Amino acid sequence: MPAQKKTKASGAAGSAAGSRPPARTARRPKLVREVMSADLLMIEAHDHVSTAAAVMEAGRVGSALVMDHDTLVGIFTERDVLHALRRSPTAALASPVTKWMTKDPMTIPPSETIRGALRRMLKGGFRHLPVTDGGHVVGVVSLRDLARALAG
């Protein structure tokens, strides 16, 4: 007669009294402040596209915050450079970033969860969001920042 495989019966008879799988401890969700970059790359509204592109390339970042003194007036990104070059190839590099930037960009507080930030970015089609606290820019969060936080 072939050997039969024995299986444990489920229920109280098959398990030690009172033993349960270990309880999962709820992890606190990561916040934007934990993953954002506080090294801000800022340009002025009158700066030319060529200047902004050079500064972004030197800083190895995909966006620059456009400031008027301490006030955020826009965000200028790699996409804006490409858009400018496609629309006006000969004049784009000498034109001011204000012509191509996103004016009054959506911002996010540092206390937002990374999942909440990701939802906002995907819904709005953004790769970068300025992080503001009390009306002051304190950082920038990118899709890459969020992806790294979620992956690791």
Q: What is the DSSP string of 72-88?
A: EEEEEEHHHHHHHHHH-
- Distance CA(92)–CA(29), nearest Å, equals 43
Name the DSSP letter for residue 20: -
pLDDT at 8 over 80: no
| Interatomic CA distance for residues 55 and 47, integer angstroms | 11
Q: Which two tokens stand for residue 37?
A: 């970059």
pLDDT, tens only, 40-87: 999 999 999 999 999 999 999 999 999 999 999 999 999 999 999 999
In a domain, 24, yes or no: no
Number of domain units in the chain: 1
Q: Domain for residue 10, yes or no?
A: no
pTM of the model: 0.79
| Confidence at residue 23, expressed as pLDDT on a 0 to 100 scale | 64
Range of the domain at 35: 30-151
Q: Residue 123 belongs to a domain with what CATH number?
A: 3.10.580.10
Q: Is the pLDDT of residue 25 over 90?
A: no
